[in-house]
Chain A
Amino acid sequence: MLRYVIRRLIQMVFLFLAFLTVTWFLLYILPGDAVALKYAGNPNIPPEAREVALQRLGLDKPVLIQFRDYMVNFFQGDLGVSFNQYPRPVTEIIGERLPRTLVLFLAALVTYYWAGFLAGKYLAWRRGSRGEMLITVSGVGLYSLFLPFFALMMIWLFSVQLDLLPISKFLDPEKWRDAPFMANEVFMRLFWVTLTAAIAMFAASFAALRTNNRRLERTLRWGGIALAALWFLFYWFGTPSGQDMRVYAGDIGYHMVLPVLVLTLINFGGVMLLTRSSMLETLREDYILTARAKGLPEGVVRDRHAARTALLPVVTSLVLAVATVIDGGVITEAVFSWPGMGEILISSVISEDIPLAVGAFSFIGIMALIGHFVVDVLYGVLDPRIRVTEHG
């Protein structure tokens, strides 16, 4: 297993190099350049000034030299400065935007996978019932909606008509006027607290999957949830730094409700249908009959035998979804005026801000690679049939 992990890590480095190279050249071969675009509106700029600008950005050098410089700097942790927000370093811009996107889309991803899996499990189990009909139709209906339209309708309903939720942005400037924190500090804190809580919950439910003792399994599963919830509450209410930040974290959370809700409603249908078909397949298997014949209660047959095996393709689809955590939110971020990675992806490509664009894309690449890697390892853990052996 260790050898497999190391081999995969080395593979990932090469894959990433290839990804970076292709991305860099694709952006480079876009017609025009950042300076030309910037000064397109002003024909009176003397050519000398243009030359100076090009020189300053390093765009006057031959393409291969530019590429070499970029790569050398990249691996020293220097992603260059943004052409457009000159002279802000790319790392600083991404450092500001990435947590906002991660928090929002990870929250949405977890919610809709969880909801989709539970709904799919229910559908397969209650096949032919009226509830199944209702959930399938609404799930598929929502899944086929056009996201911007649906998001705007939801904003209209919840923010304008009912006045329950904020219209857009990720914080309320009024509240933050005298805030002792930067919004990003709060974002990072939110991210880490939620991540540690999620890891605790995941680890416990994973341990629950591995045990055979049913009482211990239940204890672990519920204990994991309780532990995560306790840690979450303890951090925000029990620690001094948590207490100070609570109001602001709460404000961000409040602003996240609507986008997460919209993303969940639109996306859970896909996960649900996948889970449903996968679960229907496992329900036909002989081992389900064996499990019933053993006199196991229906809940155990459903969760430990059918849903557990049906989980595999759902986990695979999660791989593809992990990459969308950064890039798939372009439209969502635009609709909700959520200043995250999606926004800089668009603006940097349009303005040919190559360092910023390559920097943003490289993070998508890294996320996709890490996502694939994690899921591959997880898959081996979940399915012993494809577990890698030392000689395999």
Chain B
Amino acid sequence: MTAPKLPLEESGGRAPLLEVDGLVMRYDTEAGEVSAVENVSFALARGEAMGLVGESGCGKTSVALSLLRLAPENARYQSGSVRWEGVNLLDLSDQQMREYRWAEISMVFQGAMNAWNPVYRVGAQIREAMDQHFDPPLGSSETEQRIDQLFQLVGLDPAVQRRYPHELSGGMRQRAVIAMALSCDPKLIIADEPTTALDVIVQAQILEELKEIQQDLGLSILYISHDMAVIAQVTDTIGVMYAGKMVEFGSTQEVFHRPSHPYSFLLLSSIPSVTGPRRRPMSLEGTPPNLLAPPSGCRFHPRCPWATEQCRQEEPPMMPIGPSQWAACWNAEQVPQMGEPAP
């Protein structure tokens, strides 16, 4: 099956910065081949914020790491491409790839607690990235100045750069991680669960700041989260992943307004709405499938309350639902109206 080609004009005519096309990635394990990323396609324009959501183990982090080619050593790319401004990153040599890392695409890692090496000062770890990528290299006073500015930008006292990671609070560490991610002027930041370990108030502050920074600097951000509510606040487009596959993709507004895959529908219905009509949250039963032996047909069918015989047999392709929305479900048209299935 060829990868569904998504028309990209909807993103306001902006040139695509990143195009992931039919990416298939598997992990070789002792138990067999794990199908971690299966035919995933999406595109991200300059200045756009996209979200990838799904349960843990659905492949969203594997996709993110693939963009930097940082997936673990047992990852095998079977087919597909990751195009960065037209260049397929999967074809580059290691040396060439290193030049893209951080300078073009940087990353805010899951759990900023551990993203810092405990034995070096925060400023030194930022300087390290800048020393690697600025060409011609910045002088030490320029570097210093730039780090000061970055710290101010993320709302930190520049003096913090002379501290060690363990001397900072969780929120400060996360802000410093963002400053580090910005240090080499990347075009895209991948934010993998950027706020998961933080308390709700700091979480909201940081998301707000990230959004401001993104708009001010014209950055693209790829948010990775299991939390639909977080994604909804900050993204333009959203991709919902399930068991290694992209099951729905579209503008955030449309997906939230009219989820067209039962999985996104159930994920969204589990978020209670304060202002909207009262409805009973529906639960998502079961656990994600074992990717060593993924289910036949639609990978979601064992957990889908509305699954039909066709779902069990045939794999649904990505099908257009609206002007900028696609879903991989045989019954996509009916999903938005679905109520609880008959018992």
Q: Are A294 and B114 in contact (CB under 8 A)?
A: no
Q: Are A212 and B98 in contact (CB under 8 A)?
A: no
Q: How far is the CA of A287 from the CA of B107 in the complex (A)?
A: 12
Q: How far is the CA of A385 from the CA of B163 in the complex (A)?
A: 11
- Which residues of chain B (124-178) have a CB below 8 Å from chain A? 124, 127-129, 131-133, 164, 166
Q: Are A309 and B124 in contact (CB under 8 A)?
A: no
- Which residues of chain A (194-230) have a CB below 8 Å from chain B? 212-214
Q: Are A291 and B70 in contact (CB under 8 A)?
A: no
Q: Which residues of B contact A214 (CB under 8 A)?
A: 131
Q: How far is the CA of A212 from the CA of B127 in the complex (A)?
A: 8
Q: Are A212 and B132 in contact (CB under 8 A)?
A: no
Are A213 and B164 CB-contacts (below 8 A) given A293-B107, A383-B119?
no
A308 within 8 A of B: yes
A5 within 8 A of B: no
Out of B110, B119, B132, B164, which one reaches A309, CB within 8 Å?
B119
Out of A285, A304, A383, A385, which one reaches B114, CB within 8 Å?
A285
Q: Are A382 and B131 in contact (CB under 8 A)?
A: no
A296 within 8 A of B: yes
Q: Render B103-120 as a binary contact track against A, CB cut-off 8 A, 1 for contact.
A: 100110111001111110
Please, which residue of chain A has its CB at the minimum distance from the CB of B69? A292
Q: Are B131 and A213 in contact (CB under 8 A)?
A: yes
Out of B99, B101, B114, B131, which one reaches A287, CB within 8 Å?
B114
Q: How far is the CA of A100 from the CA of B119 in the complex (A)?
A: 38
Q: Are B119 and A384 in contact (CB under 8 A)?
A: yes
Interface SS majority for chain A: helix
Please, which residue of chain A has its CB at the minimum distance from the CB of B113? A286
Q: Render B282-313 as a binary contact track against A, CB cut-off 8 A, 1 for contact.
A: 00000000000000000000000000000000
B100 within 8 A of A: yes
Closest chain-A Cβ to B342's Cβ sits at a distance in Å of: 47
Q: Which residues of A contact B166 (CB under 8 A)?
A: 384-385
Out of B110, B116, B118, B132, which one reaches A296, CB within 8 Å?
B132
Q: Which residues of B contact A212 (CB under 8 A)?
A: 124, 127-128, 131
Number of interface residues of B (CB under 8 A): 30
Q: How far is the CA of A164 from the CA of B114 in the complex (A)?
A: 53
Q: Which residues of B contact A293 (CB under 8 A)?
A: 68, 70, 101-102, 106-107, 109
Please, which residue of chain B has its CB at the minimum distance from the CB of A211? B124
A289 within 8 A of B: yes
Please, which residue of chain A has its CB at the minimum distance from the CB of B118? A385
Q: Render B67-92 as a binary contact track against A, CB cut-off 8 A, 1 for contact.
A: 01010000000000000000000000
Q: Are B124 and A308 in contact (CB under 8 A)?
A: no
Q: How far is the CA of A214 from the CA of B124 in the complex (A)?
A: 12
Q: How far is the CA of A309 from the CA of B107 in the complex (A)?
A: 22
Out of B94, B100, B109, B133, which one reaches A289, CB within 8 Å?
B109
Q: How large is the interface on A (under 10, 10 to 19, 20 to 34, 35 or more residues)?
A: 20 to 34
Are A294 and B109 CB-contacts (below 8 A) given A309-B119, A383-B119, A384-B166?
no
Are A295 and B131 CB-contacts (below 8 A) given A287-B115, A305-B117, A308-B119?
no
Are A292 and B131 CB-contacts (below 8 A) given A309-B119, A385-B118?
no
Q: Are B128 and A294 in contact (CB under 8 A)?
A: yes
Q: Render B54-68 as a binary contact track against A, CB cut-off 8 A, 1 for contact.
A: 000000000000001
Q: Are A295 and B70 in contact (CB under 8 A)?
A: no
A180 within 8 A of B: no
Q: Which residues of B contact A383 (CB under 8 A)?
A: 118-119
A62 within 8 A of B: no
Q: Which residues of A contact B133 (CB under 8 A)?
A: 295
Q: Which residues of A contact B124 (CB under 8 A)?
A: 212
Closest chain-B Cβ to A242's Cβ sits at a distance in Å of: 39
Are A295 and B119 CB-contacts (below 8 A) given A286-B111, A286-B114, A385-B166?
no
Q: Which residues of B contact A384 (CB under 8 A)?
A: 118-119, 121, 164, 166
Q: Are A295 and B100 in contact (CB under 8 A)?
A: yes
Q: How far is the CA of A212 from the CA of B132 in the complex (A)?
A: 11
A243 within 8 A of B: no
Q: How far is the CA of A338 from the CA of B112 in the complex (A)?
A: 55
Closest chain-B Cβ to A132's Cβ sits at a distance in Å of: 14
21 pairs, CB–CB < 8 Å, chain A vs chain B: A286-B109, A286-B110, A287-B114, A287-B115, A287-B117, A289-B109, A290-B109, A290-B115, A290-B117, A293-B68, A293-B70, A293-B102, A293-B109, A294-B106, A294-B129, A296-B98, A296-B128, A308-B117, A309-B117, A384-B119, A385-B118
Inter-chain pairs besides A212-B124, A285-B114, A382-B119, 8 sampled, C-beta below 8 Å: A212-B127, A286-B110, A287-B117, A292-B70, A295-B129, A297-B98, A298-B94, A385-B118
